[in-house]
Amino acid sequence: MMLVVMKTDASVSETDDVIQKIESLGLKPQASRNADHAVISIVGSNENIELSHIQAMPGVAQIIPSADPFTLVTLKHKPERTIVNAGDVPIGGEEFVVMAGPCAVESHEQAMSTAKMVHEAGARILRGGAFKPRSSPYSFQGLGEDALKILLAAKRETGLPIVTEVITPELVPVVSEYADILQIGSRNMQNYFLLEAAGKANKPILLKRGMMSTIEELLLAAEYVLANGNNQVILCERGIRTFEKATRNTLDISAVPVLKHSCHLPVIVDPSHATGRREYIPAAAKAAVAAGADGILVEVHPSPEHALSDGIQSLSFGEFKTMMDEIRRIAAAVGRRVGTADR
Ligand code: PEP
Ligand code: MN
């Protein structure tokens, strides 16, 4: 990408002329304004861009080429951090947002009791899978739209906005009817048709890092969503596959500061899928707070040993409450706040 930085005293019409010139070269400009000057990002690769005409135009201060393959997600393009609004919950602001609930919605009772408990303990978003992308075709695949209806009932009862996964572009409309945030799972991070559909949806997107994806690939996946018109994107580090077998995945905690360094989107951590074992979740969640994440996505079940999916990595109600007390203390130490039942 390229950044055309306008002079502080450049007029609006000079900026418009540069935008038109870039368009006439068959390129895609995206303008934004910093405190004192306009910046026009030329979206796409740097190949074959003839810059001399633009450089000479009135009002242009400088052109900065960048080696980054993405544009819209970068802090260079948009220096102020994005706050994603899920219902009435801002993500990426001062509050460290806890999203909690079962891996999969299994029944009305299971989802409702979990929703009430996590709400009482200070979670701000309810998670729950309706359409589950399972590694095995013989595993529980989720209750589908029935699960969405149960989640909606739990939202009405507790007020918690819902995050749930969408696994195909065709399902985006129905999931959008119920959900406040559409989750794109690890297995689908590079499903480009789904990313395009998410870009056209009018709901925030929770984009999970592919288990074998680099940070650059995660940012390129987010770029797809932004390039298709949706800038309400939350990135989620959920562990990557390494040679280590003591945990289900390896939590790449440094992904949090790396992403925060170059990208304006909120970043959260999923300590459940990252570790795969409930006894390690509180430590990973505390690390997320300390590393500067904006929240966590965590699995909780009323009876983890009977869960239809991901029971070994689901916290019991008691374990969840204890973890909330622990992360509250870390959050206070780093100047963040964790919700309470009454906000
Ligand atoms: C999930 O959140 O339940 C899930 C399937 O996660 P991931 O896509 O990270 O495996
Ligand atoms: Mn799960």
pLDDT in tens, 125-144: 999 999 999 999 999 999 99
Question: Which of 208, 234, 268 most suits a substitution to test ligand 1, by most atoms within 8 Å of the C-beta?
Answer: 208
Residue 336 CA to ligand 1 center (angstroms) comes to 26
Percentage of residues of the chain with pLDDT beyond 70: 98
Which ligand 1 atom sits closest to the C-alpha of 133? Answer: 5
Instruction: Kindly tell me if the per-residue pLDDT of 151 is higher than 70.
Output: yes
Mean pLDDT of 249-265: 98
Sign of the Cα pseudo-torsion (217, 206, 199, 3, in order): negative
pLDDT in tens, 327-341: 999 999 999 999 988
**Which domains does the chain carry?**
2-65 (3.30.70.1140), 84-338 (3.20.20.70)
Is-contact 125 99, C-beta < 8 A?
A: yes
Strand partners, 208: 236
Residue nearest to atom 10 of ligand 1 (CA): 186
Which ligand 1 atom sits closest to the C-alpha of 127? Answer: 2
Is-contact 278 268, C-beta < 8 A?
A: no
Residue nearest to atom 4 of ligand 1 (CA): 185
Phi-psi group of 175: left, alpha or beta (phi > 0 → left; psi -120 to 50 → alpha; rest → beta) = alpha
Tokens of 334: 């780093």
Which residues 6+ apart lie within 8 Å of 173 measured at CB? Answer: none
pLDDT in tens, 178-228: 999 999 999 999 999 999 999 999 999 999 999 999 999 999 999 999 999
Least Cα distance to 248 among 268, 273, 271 occurs for: 273
* Residue found under tokens 């360094």: 261
pLDDT in tens, 58-87: 999 999 887 788 989 999 889 999 999 999
Residue 343 CA to ligand 1 center (angstroms) comes to 27
CB of 208 closer than 6 angstroms to any ligand 1 atom: yes
Residue 104 CA to ligand 2 center (angstroms) comes to 7
DSSP 94: S
Instruction: Kindly tell me if the per-residue pLDDT of 165 is higher than 90.
Output: yes
Pairing of strands 2-6, 38-43: antiparallel
Question: Which of 238, 281, 309 most suits a substitution to test ligand 1, by most atoms within 8 Å of the C-beta?
Answer: 238
CB of 185 closer than 6 angstroms to any ligand 1 atom: yes
Question: What residue type is assigned to position 315 of the chain?
Answer: L
Q: Say what the pLDDT of residue 13 is.
A: 96
Q: How far apart are CA 264 and CA 32, in angstroms?
A: 13
Instruction: Kindly tell me if the per-residue pLDDT of 109 is higher than 70.
Output: yes
Alpha helices in 58-107 (DSSP H): none
* Mean pLDDT of all residues belonging to the chain: 95
Q: How far apart are CA 310 and CA 272, in angstroms?
A: 9
* pLDDT bucket at 48, cuts 50 / 70 / 90: low
Residue nearest to atom 9 of ligand 1 (CA): 186
**For the whole model, what pTM was predicted?**
0.92
Q: Say what the pLDDT of residue 240 is.
A: 98
Residue 235 CA to ligand 2 center (angstroms) comes to 17
